[in-house]
Amino acid sequence: MPVRGVAIVLFLALINTAISWDRKWTYFVFAQQWPPSFCNDPSQMNHKCKGLPKPVKTWTVHGLWPNRGDVSVENCNDSWHFKWDKVKSLQKQLEASWPNLLEDTRPKGLWEHEWTAHGTCAASLEATNNEFRYFQKALSLNSVTALNPEKALEKAGITPSCTKAYSVNAIQKALMEYFRLDSPLKIICARQRHGRTMLKEIHMALSKTFNVTRMPGHSTSCCTPADEIYIFPISDMHCFQ
């Protein structure tokens, strides 16, 4: 068989494998993270956070994850390896909106992990059926005002500060109103070494047509309604450390 024919057969085999996984997941979790909280999270202290690259101005992508119920569907095709040349044209966008902030890890290691664990499962949809489309879709979602946590919080008067904290309920209320939901999104917190609780991530559920929908499962992680939550500014992300 000619080389081109072999390549086509292999590509079709990859797509068929991905399609077979489509029945195993029902929606996406779109996870966005606040970079200052990520770098102040004690769980990351065994790594070296290189600070925030100049292009990073707002919430960044953590991942776009196929889910079923409250369980992430992962590693759908171990033979479909990440190839940097497929997404190299997105490099500037990735560094600004989906950066690897840990300087003691492989620069492209985050993207490789996200593709292998989650992208191979998302490939069952035409909109995300290869490396380029998967990363491009997540980047485009992160740039849409309608899905921007910063805009949602700002609208409710919740802005980054080293000294002012907000309640979990106030944050959830702002997000639910902005995204027009009748149930909470999932928020992930982290505790700074000085004891302050930080808003680290926001997870929203997206349908397979990328519309915001109800998030199954628990609405908070590592914080409780009694906690006061800090959102440190990007311009002063360590806040008195």
Q: Is-catalytic flag, 81?
A: no
47 is catalytic: no
The enclosing H or E element of 174 equals helix 168-178
CA-nearest of 58, 56, 62, 57 to 30 is 62
Q: Which of 113, 114, 154, 218 is catalytic?
A: 114
Angstrom distance (rounded) from CA 1 to CA 157: 64
Bridge partners of residue 228, in order along the sequence: 167
Among residues 81, 95, 112, 118, the one annotated as catalytic is 118
Name the active-site residue from 47, 62, 74, 228: 62
Residue 129 φ/ψ, nearest 5 degrees: -90, 10
**d(Cα 237, Cα 95) in Å, to the nearest integer?**
18
- Cα separation, 158 vs 97, in Å, equals 22
Is 62 in the active site?
Answer: yes
**Residues with catalytic function:** 62, 114, 118
